[in-house]
């Protein structure tokens, strides 16, 4: 209760109560209002910083842990981002190696390092969840790719033996694409100038150049001839699984009949024996006794670009050398 004030009135010669003024009322109201505001502020501070609910205690502890371990988590997230980039790069490389074609990279920015470092605690969990989702999606994709490659590119023991039998090496030392002079198919005969079927490919090389076996096998035929016609000196190698290769117009033969041959082994040298009009190797590949295009097998050691160039060169209809 406010204290009652009195004053002496000389007219009535007695003490009378002091009348209330607007200023006194306003001052008292402001005083009560200020006291109530300070009390409210104190109550809020007490509630927020002294009294804590179980949920607030849990959230404060979580925020403190995140703030303390944020640097470690950022490093781990950066490492995860780098691993994602490496996995995607390896996926693209594997695709290009298997299918020999370029694969367009996925559009998007994977390196969010700056955003992660600048993110507050509220956004940090979002980045972690995002990268976790990326890992899960990439894991599913990798599993599907592994299953697909296993189903389509797996090799059994029987298939492995057949693959080893395929004569895939170049049949001459230091082979270059430009050394292929004439391909398989209809060509012009160098003697009567008419069209005929050329059963192999002609590879131009200097006399004495080393001739190499196109694959593992056994020498199944050796023929030497002084006639200025036909294959002259030539070798046939049986690679198994129906594959046979023939190397004609040789100058020297350095293997014997029945000898086991390893892939890339020297078996002779380039010459002009038989009906050759210039030093070269006439090379044939036969499958089950039927001549097939040797270019389809001359893959080893050539890039996709070089092999494409070899194919285009072999298709030119020109004059053969035998």
Question: What is the structure's pLDDT at 187?
Answer: 95
Query: Helix, strand or coil for residue 226?
Result: coil
Beta-carbon-side half-sphere exposure of residue 288 (alpha carbons within 13 Å): 0
Rounded percentage of the chain residues whose pLDDT exceeds 90: 44
Question: What is the structure's pLDDT at 162?
Answer: 77
Cα 106 to Cα 1, 81, 89, 266, distances in angstroms = 79, 15, 10, 47
Q: Is 146 exposed, middle or buried (0-12, 13-18, 19+ CB in 10 A)?
A: exposed
Full-model pTM: 0.56
Question: What is the structure's pLDDT at 233?
Answer: 97
Nearest to 228 by CA among 196, 261, 275, 186: 275
Cα 273 to Cα 76, 183, 320, distances in angstroms = 70, 20, 15
- 215 has a pLDDT exceeding 90: yes
Q: What is the pLDDT of residues 117-142, one digit of tens each?
A: 555 555 666 666 776 677 677 667 66
Query: Helix, strand or coil for residue 92?
Result: helix
Question: What is the structure's pLDDT at 107?
Answer: 46
Nearest to 239 by CA among 168, 133, 319, 155: 168
Q: What is the pLDDT of residues 13-31, one digit of tens each?
A: 777 777 666 777 787 778 8
d(CA 147, CA 34): 76
Q: What is the pLDDT of residues 247-259, one digit of tens each?
A: 999 999 999 999 9
Q: With b meaning 16 or more CB within 10 Å and e meaning fewer, what string describes 150-165?
A: eeeeeeeeeeeeeeeb
């Amino acid at each position: 209760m406010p204290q009652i004030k009195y004053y002496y009135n000389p007219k009535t010669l007695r003490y009378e109560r002091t009348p209330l003024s607007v200023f006194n009322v306003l001052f008292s109201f402001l005083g009560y209002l200020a006291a109530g505001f300070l009390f409210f502020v104190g109550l809020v501070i007490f509630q927020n910083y002294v009294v804590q609910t179980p949920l607030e205690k849990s959230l404060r502890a979580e925020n403190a842990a995140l703030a303390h371990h944020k640097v470690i988590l950022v490093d781990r997230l950066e490492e995860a981002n780098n691993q994602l980039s490496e996995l995607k790069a390896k996926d693209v490389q594997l695709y290009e190696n298997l299918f020999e074609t370029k694969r367009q990279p996925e559009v998007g920015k994977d390196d969010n390092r700056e955003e992660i470092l600048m993110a507050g605690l509220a956004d940090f969990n979002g980045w972690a969840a995002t990268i976790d989702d990326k890992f899960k999606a990439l894991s599913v994709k990798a599993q599907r790719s592994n299953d697909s490659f296993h189903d389509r590119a797996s090799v059994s023991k029987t298939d492995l033996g057949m693959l080893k039998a395929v004569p895939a090496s170049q049949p001459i030392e230091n082979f270059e694409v430009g050394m292929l002079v004439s391909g398989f198919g209809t060509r012009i005969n160098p003697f009567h100038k008419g069209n005929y079927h050329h059963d192999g490919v002609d590879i131009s090389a200097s006399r004495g150049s080393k001739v190499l076996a196109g694959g593992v096998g056994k020498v199944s035929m050796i023929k030497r001839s002084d006639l200025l016609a036909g294959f002259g000196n030539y070798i046939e190698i049986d690679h198994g699984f129906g594959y046979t290769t023939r190397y004609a117009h040789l100058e020297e033969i350095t293997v014997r009949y029945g000898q086991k041959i390893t892939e890339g082994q020297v078996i002779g040298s380039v010459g002009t024996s038989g009906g050759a009009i210039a030093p070269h190797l006439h090379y044939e590949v036969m499958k089950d006794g039927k001549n097939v295009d040797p270019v389809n097998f001359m893959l080893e050691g050539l890039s996709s670009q070089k092999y494409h160039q070899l194919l285009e060169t072999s298709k030119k209809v020109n004059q053969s050398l035998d």
